[in-house]
Amino acid sequence: MTVPDDAPDCFADDEAVDEPEQLEDDDDTRWVAFVRAHDTTGSLAALAGVFASRGVSIGSLATGHEVGSPGLVVVTFRTGERRQRLITRTVERLPMVGGIVVRRADDLGVRAAAVVHLPQGLAFEPPEHAVVRWSGETALGEPLLVEGTLVDVESVVGAAQAAGATADALVIQPPA
């Protein structure tokens, strides 16, 4: 499957799109979109174009692919509920998209995992308020492995960075 030559037309849906003032909303909610898309030339460009044409900046974008199934694109972004619904409807209409699930970033079903490296000899434990599973004796030079809700994992990574972490990686897990 390839992106049609008239790909810009797949971005147009409601007349409200041409009138940004109709989409203004003060809500600055953070969202996570899980998009199943065919691995074709231009898929990511078309997806990014939906966000760009709606005036929404992508916070992060990650891709993954399982043999024999559509790829998974995970996108984080900030916008209000009305614009999020418009983006979701427009993404669903893209010819290369097989489905989309959008959740608030603070939804308990949005799970993440992270690996954090701290300097050897520095003992670190996740903050008590973060409800996560973790392992790793950082004082012995082992990486800290942490899993939980996105907001809790981000909290742990932030605390580790403040304590002197030298490297970290965070992955948002696909919905169950």
Model pLDDT for residues 22-52, shown as the tens digit of each residue: 445 556 899 999 999 988 899 999 999 999 9
Q: Report yes or no on 1 lying in a domain.
A: no
Domain count, the chain: 2
Query: What pLDDT sits at residue 27?
Result: 67
Q: What's the rounded Cα separation, in Å, for the pair 154 and 84?
A: 22
Query: What pLDDT sits at residue 16?
Result: 41
Q: What is the mean pLDDT of residues 16-20?
A: 41
Q: Report yes or no on 80 lying in a domain.
A: yes
Tell me which of 2 and 140 has the higher pLDDT. 140
Q: Is the dihedral of CA 117, 119, 124, 127 positive or negative?
A: negative
Residue 29 CA, chain-centre distance (Å), reads 13
Q: What's the rounded Cα separation, in Å, for the pair 121 and 140?
A: 6
Any bridge partners for residue 71, and if so which? 37
Q: Which of 82, 104, 126 is the last residue of a domain?
A: 104
Asked if 69 and 144 sit in the same domain, the reply is no
Q: What's the rounded Cα separation, in Å, for the pair 32 and 99?
A: 14
Give pTM, 2 decimals: 0.80
Q: What is the mean pLDDT of residues 145-173?
A: 95
Q: Which of 104, 123, 144 is the last residue of a domain?
A: 104
Query: What pLDDT sits at residue 25?
Result: 53
Query: Is the predicted pLDDT of residue 7 greater than 50, yes or no?
Result: no
Asked if 81 and 154 sit in the same domain, the reply is no
Any bridge partners for residue 144, and if so which? 116
Judging by beta carbons within 10 Å of its beta carbon (0-12, 13-18, 19+), is residue 147 exposed, middle or buried? middle
Q: What is the mean pLDDT of residues 137-164?
A: 96
Q: Report yes or no on 168 lying in a domain.
A: yes
Asked if 149 and 125 sit in the same domain, the reply is yes
Q: What is the mean pLDDT of residues 96-103?
A: 96
pLDDT band at 66 (very low <50, low <70, confident <90, very high): confident
Asked if 119 and 88 sit in the same domain, the reply is no
Any bridge partners for residue 45, and if so which? none
Asked if 100 and 116 sit in the same domain, the reply is no
C-beta contacts of 59-62 below 8 A and 24+ residues apart:
59/30, 62/171, 62/172
By residue range, what is the domain housing residue 46? 7-104
Query: What pLDDT sits at residue 26?
Result: 56
Q: Which of 87, 104, 121 is the last residue of a domain?
A: 104
Asked if 160 and 135 sit in the same domain, the reply is yes
Q: What is the mean pLDDT of residues 41-66?
A: 93
DSSP 55: T
Residue 11 CA, chain-centre distance (Å), reads 21
Query: Is the predicted pLDDT of residue 11 greater than 90, yes or no?
Result: no
CATH no. for residue 42? Answer: 3.30.70.260
Any bridge partners for residue 115, and if so which? 145, 169
Query: Is the predicted pLDDT of residue 12 greater than 80, yes or no?
Result: no
Residue pointed to by tokens 């399982």: 66
